Amino acid sequence: MTSRIFKHTFKQGIQGIMRNRTMSLASIGSVASVLVILGLVLMVILNVNAISMSTKETFDEIFVYLDDHISNQRIRQIGEEISSIEGTLAVVYQSKEYALNQMKEEWGEDGRLLEGLVNNPLPNTYVVQLVDVSYASRVISLIEQKDGIEEVKYYKDIVERLIATADFIQYFGMVVILILLLVSIFIIQNTIKITVASRKIEIELMQYIGASNGFVRGPFIFEGIVLGLLGSLLAIVIVLNGYDYLVSFTNEKMFAMLSFYLIPAQNIAFDFLIIFMTIGVGIGILGSIVSLKKFLNV
Amino acid sequence: MFEFSNVTKVYKNKFTAVNDISFKIEKGSFSFIVGKSGAGKTTLIKLLIKEVDPTEGKIIFNNQDITKLSHRQIPLHRRKVGVIFQDFRLLDKKTVYENIAFAMEMVGHTPKNIRREVPTVLSMVGLSDKANNFPNELAGGEQQRIAIARAVVNKPDLIIADEPTGNLDPETSYEIMKIFSEINRRGTTVLMVTHDRAIVDTMKKRVIELKNGRIIRDTEEGDYYHDL
């Protein structure tokens, strides 16, 4: 009995798709385009997130640049003094030589440019990590009072602005995604409605004969699932290929300029596949149920 | 078989289609429902298959009040009632055989059952040689036979026929009536809504006449017009 219902559902569902080929293609296309846009929004959100995290790590520290002329003893002393200030978590010394090497490494091939320097222009530095951002202004003012300090740098504004921007982009992205989902449910609903309408006599007859509700609805819900699934697969092919191209282009040409990496496509491919297929199938089922509700009232 | 007790149906537009009707149909009987258009005949059919629910009153079918059936129970109730529509409602993309097999598939019969039963009903309605034709290749009387075969193939307790001879010439109508008599003789209750005076007068069966939603006559072995 169960296998027969399954066979019936499968056969009728495929038949419904093939008989209304134009509308089926239209709904696959619209699910795909909705998901492509949704994919783009998701990509932006994910990358903004990743960039803001890595930037936050880089900027959430106080850089204490030391005067070039002070003695090593004074340098050690300053280090101890900073460590004893309330609110500091860790104090790490970076010599000017270390800083230059670090820079060469980060610049990669372009690092050779730095080899022409006669004097190392970078200062000796203490990198101070805070227990909490709230200590920042007091710690900074205490450090600034000390002798032998050239400059204290802290990018609090940048960090805060970055977090705010990332939050906004995420919030805005979620709203866009929600609207897109509603649009695609509406589109699938209309496709199924046309299929249902074109088989109105058959459906009415099924109900008069006494076919169970599942028997009547099954094929249409199956049809919705197939359309949603095909749309989501099409979308994933477009999004991942497009994104992969963008990533290889950006990471090759833009890294030196922007100093960040986009998340590689293969890292998110599987997650996207799952997300897209779930949403695609969800849209399909919801669309079928909504359109069936309007039609099946016998 | 079934019984209407003080059944009233008022539609949303305030039209009272059926007004305080009570009658009882015995198992294995053959009855006609007559009356002009708008007398309430179609609503009576809709009430019996629970396409609409009465505003007031009870409908007991096989000892069960069908007005109280749950959504899930409706399909099971409808399997006990075979309806033959005036416009046949055949699926024109399916062959005669497939149209009848469809009714069996819908209620979950096995393919083996279907292969056994379909030829049997086709031979009963005299369409064995037309099994592979499509409905629109056949004459009206033959299409009506398909509809009958489809209604009886699931062995319902009650057959409702809505104007089964409405579009047929007298000779074909007579042939169709012979099939209904045969179905009834085999034990199935038949309820026929009709305008066909000749048929009602020849058959000499129970006649229930409706007018403006009320029963104005109910006679055993009646005629189409008022019995004297």
What average pLDDT does this structure show over A86-114?
81
CA distance B95 to chain A (A): 14
Residue B66 CA: distances (Å) to CA of B9, B77, B80: 15, 8, 12
Are residues A32 and A171 both part of a single domain? yes
Quote the crossing angle between the two packed helices A156-198 and A21-59, to the nearest 10°: 170
Residue A181, domain member (yes or no): yes
Summarised one tens digit per residue, pLDDT across range A130-180 is 877 677 778 888 888 888 888 888 876 777 777 788 888 888 888 988 888
Domain match, A100 and A237 both:
no
Q: What is the total count of domains within chain A?
A: 2
Closest residue in A to B106 (Cα) is A211
Q: Does A2 touch chain B (CB under 8 A)?
A: no
Q: What is the CATH number for A82?
A: 3.30.70.3040
pLDDT tens profile A42-57 = 888 888 888 777 776 6
- Average confidence score pLDDT of chain B: 92
| Inside any domain, residue A63 | no
pLDDT of residue A257 exceeding 50? yes
Contacts of A1 in chain B (CB under 8 A): 108
pLDDT of residue A255: 57
Q: Rounded CA gap, B167 and A210, in Å?
A: 27
Which of A82, A117, A147 finishes a domain?
A: A147
**Which residues of A are less than 8 Å from B51 in CB distance?**
298
Structural domain contains residue A14:
yes
Mutation site, B106, B136, B148, B157, interface A, largest A CB count within 10 A: B106
Domain boundary among A99, A118, A147: A147
Per-residue pLDDT at A215: 84
| Structural domain boundaries enclosing A83 | 68-147
Is the domain of A132 the same as that of A241? Answer: no
Q: In this structure, is residue A233 part of a structural domain?
A: yes
A257 CB within 8 Å of a chain B CB: no
**B35-60, pLDDT tens digit by residue?**
988 889 999 999 999 999 999 999 99
Neighbour order of strands in the sheet with A88-94: A88-94, A125-130, A62-66, A149-153
Quick check: A298 pLDDT over 60? no
Residues A114 and A243 in one domain: no
Chain A hits for B113, Cβ within 8 Å? none
pLDDT band at B226 (very low <50, low <70, confident <90, very high): low
Q: Are residues A142 and A79 in the same domain?
A: yes
A201: closest chain B residue by CA: B89
Residues of A in contact with B77 (CB under 8 A): 210
Residues in chain A with CB shorter than 8 Å from the CB of B12 are none
Residue of B nearest to A296 (CA): B51
The pLDDT assigned to A217 comes to 86
Residues B157 and B131: their CA atoms lie apart, in Å, by: 25
Task: Determine contact: A1 vs chain B, CB below 8 A.
Answer: yes
In this prediction, residue A218 has a pLDDT band, given cuts at 50, 70 and 90, of confident
pLDDT at residue B228, rounded to an integer:
45
pLDDT grade for A260, boundaries at 50, 70 and 90: low
Mutate which of A5, A15, A209 to test chain B, going by most B C-beta atoms within 10 A?
Answer: A209
Domain boundary among A147, A168, A183: A147
What phi and psi values does residue A178 have, to the nearest 5 degrees?
A: -60, -45
Same domain membership, residue A50 and residue A184: yes
Asked whether the predicted pLDDT for residue A222 surpasses 50, the reply is yes
* One domain for residues A182 and A35: yes
In this model, does residue A296 exceed pLDDT 70? no
Structure confidence at residue A6 (pLDDT): 82
Res A141: pLDDT: 85
Q: What is the pLDDT of residues B149-208, one digit of tens each?
A: 999 999 999 999 999 988 888 899 999 999 999 999 999 999 999 988 889 999 999 999
What pLDDT does A297 receive? 59
Mean pLDDT, residues A18-27: 81
Nearest to A5 by CA among A208, A222, A210, A218: A218
Q: Are residues A90 and A28 part of one domain?
A: no
Each residue's pLDDT tens digit, A6-15:
887 888 888 8
B211 backbone dihedrals φ, ψ, rounded to 5°: -150, 125
In a domain, A61, yes or no: no
Higher pLDDT, B115 or A169: B115
pTM of the model: 0.67
Is the CB of residue A8 less than 8 Å away from at least one CB of chain B?
Answer: yes
Question: A254 pLDDT exceeds 70?
Answer: no
**Chain B positions in Cβ-Cβ contact with residue A213 (cut-off 8 Å):** 71-72, 75
| Average pLDDT score, chain A | 82
On whether residue A109 sits in a domain, the answer given is yes
Claim to verify: residue A117 and residue A164 sit in the same structural domain: no
Same structural domain, A174 and A260: yes
| Cross-chain CB nearest to A209 (options B71, B72, B106) | B106
Within this chain, do residues A238 and A282 fall inside the same structural domain, yes or no? yes
Q: State mean pLDDT over A201-220.
A: 86
Residue A249 placed within a domain: yes
Residues A170 and A24 in one domain: yes
CA dist B226 → B21, B165, B201, B214 (Å): 19, 21, 11, 15
Q: How many CB pairs under 8 A join A and B?
A: 44
Residue A226 has pLDDT above 80, yes or no: yes
- Predicted confidence at residue A56, as pLDDT, reads 67
**A80 occurs within a structural domain:** yes
Contact A211 B106 (CB under 8 A): yes
What is the predicted pLDDT for the residue at B104? 94
β-pairing, B30-34 with B16-25? unpaired
Indicate whether B69 pLDDT > 60: yes
Q: What is the mean pLDDT of residues A86-98?
A: 86
pLDDT tens-digit series, residues B83-93: 998 888 999 88
